[in-house]
Amino acid sequence: MTHDLARLGKRLGYQFQDERLLQQALTHRSADRRNNNERLEFLGDAQLGQIISRWLFDQFPEASEGQLTRMRSVLVRGATLADVARELELGPCLALGGGEMKSGGHRRDSILADALEALVGALLLEAGEETCRQIVLGWFQARLAAVSPQNAAKDAKTRLQEWLQGRQLPLPEYTVLDIRGQAPSEQFDVRCLLTSHQLEFVATGSSRRRAEQDAAALALAWLEDNL
């Protein structure tokens, strides 16, 4: 495990001195009900929002509050955080309970996003605000370079539709794959199918609309990165 965490440190761009803190950030509540990453997630969520908000504020001095809010939403939504977590290869490093392991929890957006936020919280505690800010901005570098008040003004479904229409390709098809839990805490799994490329992207959200938006964002990101 120590060797795996050392390799993770290289991907993160930071080697934790307190290995127990790093392990806690990677521990889901299904693996340990007492010593898990939920408190670190709480801290990291607030710190991540502050880091991204300040960067946007400084980078776009002419942007309105609404534009800043929409850009921040694009950068800190669950699907984006899960993508960053995948790029850092957090999934194989997570400590999960037996049920979550069997159900593929290490690939689930919500678990990956929570772990990334917990890592931000752990970084803040060990390294302080400035180092935390520098590391996190490095993780988001490509996405920060791509965001602007103009492309954040439209939601992901609209932008995906326009991207496909502009190339005379079929529109995406959205399907609800599963609904878990009871209202008002339901979780929706939605698939966005691109028939033109025979690709599908699945996202989870607290509403069908949110899940559709996140699935569309995944599809759009793939198209923009690969075509």
Binding residues: 41, 114, 117
Residue in 23, 35, 45, 14 with CA at minimum distance from that of residue 94:
23
Written as one string, the DSSP assignment of 20-82 is HHHHHHTB-TTT-SSSSSHHHHHHHHHHHHHHHHHHHHHH-TT--HHHHHHHHHHHHSHHHHH
C-alpha R_g of the chain: 18
Residue 48 CA to residue 50 CA, distance in Å, equals 5
- Active-site residue flag, 214: no
Whether residue 61 is preceded by a cis peptide bond, meaning omega within 30 degrees of 0, is no
Tokens of 173: 């098809």
Residue in 194, 196, 184, 189 with CA at minimum distance from that of residue 219:
194
Tell me if 160 sits within 8 A of 146, measured CB to CB: no
Tell me if 111 sits within 8 A of 100, measured CB to CB: yes
Which parts are annotated binding residues for Mg(2+)? 41, 114, 117
- Active-site residue flag, 117: yes
Q: Is 6 helix (H, G, I), strand (E, B) or coil?
A: helix
> E strands within the chain?
173-180, 187-194, 199-205
Q: Which of 45, 109, 212, 214 is catalytic?
A: 45
Q: Which of 83, 100, 109, 117 is catalytic?
A: 117
Catalytically active residues are: 45, 117
